[in-house]
Structure 1
């Protein structure tokens, strides 16, 4: 009896072990699932919201459900610890509430805090043009800087009685003509005899003017010639400087013809090698991130980025025409920087590049609803992602309001040529010349 009981005990224990080892998967103990789910709003557009979902990595496939205004939207799988998602099809200028739930086998493990998002409003595309003829033939304006709607500088070569002049200023009522002094050579100061090629305004009392080889500052009270950008008189490598960019008077960058580029630190200047002889026509940046684009009339173009004080090539093109399916971007014409992203306009589309990344995202005009078929688009200005203008040498202006691109009626002039533009607040300013008349400035005001 004792022996039989012992045998039965052994057999029973053995069966228990077998049953435990071979039990169905769904009878095994459930793993302990825990962790928080976090939800944050990363960005908004007129019709979409970008959200970041984060769940601690448990080594398991993680499911989360997203709710908008307490209504279920979708369930997705999260691999890793976080992901960026877009909720689209929304209404402009509208408030939304979002919440995310961490779900495992139908059970809610955790719920995020409710977060608030407001979509961007649609910007106004209704501009009215005001066109002024400046000076006499063959005068020309080459650059413009808007400080605000009633504080605008434009520079060039202005021939008229009492002149020549090289700058004009708009005070909200009228244009005033100026003879801005500049150095032609290190030991000579000229008053208004050299035309100006570029102007850049940091504030109303901190404006910089260049003849292409000099730099002069307006401090709100007087014009102060600062420096001459030339190795020596007759330097064959020198090319007139055409555009400048700065965030402070001790950190100014200029680019121009023959790929010429310089940096001015408030006291001394240095030449920066670009590695190209292409005519550099635009420059912009943020902090220590600086970008430039240029092109020749023959079609060659280049986009550059300043890295550790040296210009590096982002991309090149040898023709105005391009096939983006083959990785061609087209001719690089203009650029602007908004927040942490540089936007480069090309002959067939728009390039977006984060300033802290080497990745470039190209959107062909056909996919962006952007009609560049008129050609000659060389100017771009971005105030916000719902407020962008693109201008052409013929005076055609396109405006993006956050949802669609609209063509603003052309500036009402014929036989015109525009060379540059600026966009700030509620004003677009285009400058250039009439073919058989004086200089030209057109202000689009909304």
Structure 2
């Protein structure tokens, strides 16, 4: 096991980073592929009980080993139903040594749930009803198109090449039907984009931009509808139009929801959760993590390690670690009723368990963020292996 070293405890009482050094590890031969190593674990909010969840981390994005951003929220008392205006956006910046709080403003406009960085002067942080832009000097709140009767809720954002794409849904108050939506930043304002006809109730949960003319968005059709109708939704932007990709075959008594996407030229991954029902179409038989791969012409569903049962498991994030795709999420073991972290890596032919951060098994991964050049960050909730009382919202980095 690698050596652990506590770096700092800030004057505000927030426990600083714990570096997991590899000084005791045997050096790898020249040219050899290094095994993944978690070299940094920190709890920016310190250790706290998750009962009230007054402070949460929701997403992380990186530009390099010395530049990264993590977003979340601070809730005032009143959990689980705080009064209006008391959910505040929160943000941390990684300076290469520690996470520093860099909250965009002092207002309480809602949580930040997604962050994406294209350059050190082009970072977007969004929540369901807010969007902030970092220009290298300051954060600026940017309004986006919405309708009071059919409000648009942002779920994810991807910054690329001076522009950005944000995905989500519009809820029609009169019918209760949601409609998937995409807005694009044109350099001065957000513009609503036209999508192909999408029958039924639809939403978009995640987006990945390879270039301004190569963007992938995933979501679900009829996610909240009756019966077992929910199925995959994948869209692609080629610089001119959005088009819908063919879905994998729909299985009887099976629902599939997508909440994560990761792309590179010639290869796209989409993931989420698959729910199988009993013959009556009502009782849940099992829930399990779901992942599928696009090779340019067809989808292939790839089996994931089983954490089955009524609660099962789900993938909430995908990210590239170099040329290898990783998946993160959480589940619950029916036998023990404990949370189970989901952290997988694709070895080229199958999903396998990835080395987990130095946390006990009942951790949860919310999001993964790729570090250009290799490595990735993970954020979620967990308990330090060496101290049962050391639990809270964490950020951890893997290299190798």
**Structure of greater Rg:** 1
TM-score normalised by structure 2 residue count: 0.47
Indicate the structure with greater helix content: 1
